[in-house]
Homo-oligomer: A and B are copies of this chain.
Amino acid sequence: MQDYTPAQQRVLDAAAAAFSEHGFGGTSTRDIAVRAGRSPAAVYVHYSSKEDLLFAVSRRGHEAALRAMLDARDTATCPHDRLTAMVHASTLWHLENALLARVVQHEFGALTEPHRSTIAALRRETSQLVVDAIEDGNASGDFDVADHDVTGTARALLSLAIDLVRWFSPDHLDRAEGIANLNVRLAERMVGSRHRPPPRSPSTGR
Contact = CB atoms under 8 A, between A and B. Distances in A.
A21 interface: yes
A201 B38 CA distance: 61
A152 B168 CA distance: 12
A185 interface: yes
A114 interface: no
Interface in A179-206: 179, 182-183, 185-186, 189-190, 192, 202, 204-206
What band does the interface of chain A fall in when counting residues whose beta carbon is under 8 Å from B? Answer: 35 or more
Contacts of A34: none
Interface string A121-153: 000000000000000000000000010110111
Interface string A81-109: 00000000000000000000000011011
A27 interface: yes
A22 interface: yes
A160 interface: yes
A26 B25 CA distance: 4
Given A183-B156, A190-B190, A192-B189, A151 B24 contact: no
A21 B189 contact: no
Given A23-B26, A23-B109, 6 more contacts: A22-B25, A23-B23, A106-B106, A146-B202, A156-B160, A163-B163
19 contacts: A22-B110, A23-B23, A23-B109, A24-B26, A25-B25, A25-B26, A108-B166, A148-B202, A149-B185, A152-B179, A152-B206, A153-B182, A156-B160, A159-B159, A159-B160, A159-B163, A189-B189, A189-B192, A190-B190
